[in-house]
Structure 1
Amino acid sequence: MWLESVLEPGDIEMDKRVGLNTYVNLTANSNTALLRPAGVHAVTSEPSAWSSGLVLADEPDMWAGPGSSVWTGKWPGQGEVCNPAGTPCGYSVQRTLSAAIADGTLKYANYGKGVSFWESDEQASVFVNEFQDVVSVDNYWFTDPNICGQGEGGGRLGGGRNLTDQECRLAANYGWTVDRVRSLIRPAGNKPVWAFVEVGHPAGEAEAPTITGPQLRGAVWSSLIHGARGIVYFNHSFGGPCQSFHILREPCGDEIRPWVTAVNRQITGLAPVLNAPFLDGALAHAAGVDAAVKVHGDALYVLAGSAQANRQAAEFTLGCLPASAVTATVLDEDRTVAISNGTFRDTFEDGNAVHLYRIDGAAAACAP
């Protein structure tokens, strides 16, 4: 959870009931001595004996820009950030903060629309690679009133045109964000990428959307399918009918909280699978879905989410499976699907649909 406070043991207990185990950018007034006895972690902005790591500046790709001019030490709203004024110094911001952290301490940084939309691959890759051990980018596809425009998401996903709501307000775009960050990492795969998912109404504009439970679940699973190694929940609502800095603790979160709890419980239950290797190249499927294959024990797990807004029937083929008929168990849905000649079919009701399949005994044939 992003920028939450821990003032008393009850705060942690509420968060643990939702399935949270890590605070990212814990507020400065928090009592970090409460963390370890409660079995939770925190990546903090200030050093602490109880901290699991330190956070660098948030979104300097946007407010300081891709460059190495001198950082004045000021933050947005405090005056000129870069010297000379008007020149970019975001690299200097992160370099300065990173250099002050002791060796061996985990460093984490989150970036924004600069890395995802506005900057060249060369510029963005400096932010992604050079300053931190764990990296994320926050794109709020379901709730940002500007992200569908040609100057943002439309520039990357729409070929320079505005995206339609069906193209933009899509769970699969959270996976696209993870892909964007992963594509910049050099060498490929050597840095964990976390994903950001909002739990409320982060935009200040009242007319902006508020995320729903099915959207949240779809966004989380799309991120994991595309290789996210952690999920950070943005826990603030700056607009909309119920404004809060503690959505998952307060009545503002009564509707979304059960969905967050359920998906976190599912992730925790599948942790051995999610931490197991991907089996790349094993699965063929149509463009309307995103999917990944994991190998754990003697089973294959197919994690699949819709990549289009409309209802669809999707076909999946694992060519490594024997021709004899087998079945896949659809996790948490109390049903199975038949597999014949390595192929099975299922229906995805909308753009938020997710199905998770376990094929027992398949690892020997597909990942010996």
Structure 2
Amino acid sequence: MAVLVVTLLVADRDGGPDGAGPDTALLDLPRVPWEGGPEYWARFPATADAGWTDPAFFPVVSWFNGISSDEEVRYDRSLGFNTYIGMDPSTPYSLFADNDVYWIGGALNETFTEDSRNWVGTFLDDEVDGRFPPDEARDRLAQLRESAPADRPAYANFTQTVVSRDMTDDDAEALINDYTDVVSVDMYWYTIPFCDWDPYRAVYLLPVEQETCRTASSYGTVVEMLRQRDAADGELQATWQFVEVLNGGPGEGPFLGNIEPDQLRGAVMSSLIHEARGIVYFNQSLSGPCQGGNVIRLSQVQEDFCGAAQVAAAGEVNAQIHELAPVLNTQSYEHDAGPGLDTMLKAHDGYAYLFAMVDGSGPPGERRLDLPAGLAGGEAEVLFEDRTVPVVDGRITDTFTTESTYHVYRIPLEGTGEPA
């Protein structure tokens, strides 16, 4: 990956260099390459006009979720979904506008106009790399992009082929870089057969070992590989990540199982830790005993729905995303917290935030997390867990019970006082 190094040089001013509040202490660390947050969405008139430049906004997308009433949209919003891709063509634009949610796609019907503020993006296509040879896929995306509105970001989703060695670098980099402003890959590690194949195919740009293939860390690795492809042309776009609400297996099977609630939350957090700028939920379940074309809606209308726990888990982690949006919308620092860890370090309004999970190199358990200089020490608040942990000699020691466990630590920067 091409690395852009940006160092925070100014302290004690209103509006830090990340544009999301004052930094009252210095973290003298390089920055992770940045294409996220309000600055990115300000590039496009549609997203800027719709309010995506608000530091408190983070896109959480429901894939092919039908809405037919305000009540249904309010239910989706209660679970943290604010954006839709895929919809029945009869859906009126008013459902988006009246409920402050957003549409990415084409004009569904005559109620959509060029002035429709909540129509924020164009959806080019899904999985062209899996449906066409590379040259045909490129031609298709080029034609679709040519006819797309210039004021709206263009989005496409791909299969895992573009982050594997099954496609040449030139073909993969062209597909990722030449047509889109937002890009994602769908690879449902927990619920498809790939991890069990014998022989196992280690075909990816970064290692995904078979013994830890079916873990949350694999979702983050996809984001990292996609960002590597995206950086090849020296320009960055927003990378989003898919996570299945129930399962991502094909309808013809075999059915391996549904994602568990803790796995769902962990897959989302791993994606964020690896710098995903949006989360897209695969909202269909095509195999196994709990099937449906709109899992989220089934959880609303069916009593004792078999996927209720997974939908609730999505709502829980989405609530955390929205609470942390002003933090997520700041540029991360490069920092190695120690072996066996995936971490992301940010600073906002006088606090450092360290997001942490175990990586795919070993089992869960106790880890020591090294903190950078410039933190007040004493103790760290563990968000969403109603506890604190001591900071001793610049380190936190904590336990990660499972491979999908994550912790978010909030630590005051020097001179800013104790955690609230």
Query: Which amino acid counterpart does residue 263 of structure 1 have in structure 2?
Result: V
The residue correspondences of 1:66-105 to structure 2 (distance < 5 A) are 66-67=134-135, 89-105=136-152
**Alignment deviations for residues 286-312 of structure 1 (CA, whole Å, 9 cap, x no partner):** 1x2200101101110000112246332
**Does the aligned pair in 2 maintain the 1:328–1:337 contact within 8 Å?**
yes
Q: What is the distance in 1 between the residues matched to 2:244 and 2:88?
A: 18
Q: What is the distance in 2 between the residues matched to 1:98 and 1:151?
A: 39
Q: 1:273 aligns with which of 321, 327, 334?
A: 327
SS state of the match for residue 214, structure 1?
Answer: helix
SS state of the match for residue 241, structure 1?
Answer: coil
Closer, same or farther: CA 189–332 of 1 in aligned 2, 3 Å: farther
Match of 1:171 in 2: 216
The residue correspondences of 1:100-179 to structure 2 (distance < 5 A) are 100-117=147-164, 118-149=166-197, 154-156=202-204, 164=210, 166-179=211-224
Query: Which amino acid counterpart does residue 160 of structure 2 have in structure 1?
Result: K
**Does the aligned pair in 1 maintain the 2:367–2:398 contact within 8 Å?**
yes
Match of 2:318 in 1: 264
SS state of the match for residue 90, structure 2?
Answer: coil
Q: 1:17 aligns with which of 67, 78, 88?
A: 78
Q: What is the distance in 2 between the residues matched to 1:278 and 1:144?
A: 32
Q: 1:197 aligns with which of 243, 257, 265?
A: 243
Q: Shift of the alpha carbon at 1:46?
A: 3.8
**Does the aligned pair in 2 maintain the 1:25–1:45 contact within 8 Å?**
no
Match of 2:307 in 1: 253
Higher RCO (C-alpha 8 Å, min separation 6): 2
Q: Shift of the alpha carbon at 1:139?
A: 0.7
Query: Which amino acid counterpart does residue 130 of structure 2 have in structure 1?
Result: M
Closer, same or farther: CA 363–43 of 1 in aligned 2, 3 Å: farther
**Does the aligned pair in 2 maintain the 1:108–1:135 contact within 8 Å?**
yes
Q: What is the distance in 1 between the residues matched to 2:414 and 2:408?
A: 15
Q: Percent identity?
A: 32
Q: What is the distance in 1 between the residues matched to 2:188 and 2:393?
A: 40
**Does the aligned pair in 1 maintain the 2:223–2:276 contact within 8 Å?**
yes
SS state of the match for residue 182, structure 1?
Answer: helix
Q: What is the distance in 2 between the residues matched to 1:328 and 1:90?
A: 49
Closer, same or farther: CA 26–153 of 1 in aligned 2, 3 Å: farther
Match of 2:36 in 1: none
Unpaired segments ≥5 residues, structure 1: 68-88
Of residues 146-155 and 116-125 in structure 1, the stretch that sits farther from structure 2 once superposed is 146-155
Q: What is the distance in 1 between the residues matched to 2:377 and 2:161?
A: 49
**Does the aligned pair in 1 maintain the 2:64–2:294 contact within 8 Å?**
no
Tell me whether 1:228 sits opposite 2:276 in the alignment. yes
Please give the TM-score of this superposition, normalised by the length of structure 2.
Answer: 0.75
SS state of the match for residue 94, structure 2?
Answer: helix
Closer, same or farther: CA 297–353 of 1 in aligned 2, 3 Å: same
Q: What is the distance in 2 between the residues matched to 1:92 and 1:151?
A: 34
Q: What is the distance in 1 between the residues matched to 2:390 and 2:290?
A: 45
The residue correspondences of 1:15-94 to structure 2 (distance < 5 A) are 15-46=76-107, 48-49=112-113, 50=116, 51-67=119-135, 89-94=136-141
Closer, same or farther: CA 109–39 of 1 in aligned 2, 3 Å: same
Q: What is the distance in 1 between the residues matched to 2:414 and 2:213?
A: 36
Q: What is the distance in 1 between the residues matched to 2:172 and 2:234?
A: 15
Q: Shift of the alpha carbon at 1:201?
A: 2.1
**Does the aligned pair in 2 maintain the 1:149–1:163 contact within 8 Å?**
no
Match of 1:316 in 2: 369
Match of 1:335 in 2: 387
Q: What is the distance in 2 between the residues matched to 1:27 and 1:305?
A: 38
**Does the aligned pair in 1 maintain the 2:123–2:156 contact within 8 Å?**
yes
Unpaired segments ≥5 residues, structure 2: 1-61, 299-304
Q: What is the distance in 1 between the residues matched to 2:179 and 2:311?
A: 34
**Alignment deviations for residues 127-184 of structure 1 (CA, whole Å, 9 cap, x no partner):** 111111110011101111135547886322797xx953x4111100100000011001
User: Would you identify which runs of 4 or more consecutive aligned residues in structure 1 move more than 3 Å?
Assistant: 45-48, 147-153, 186-189
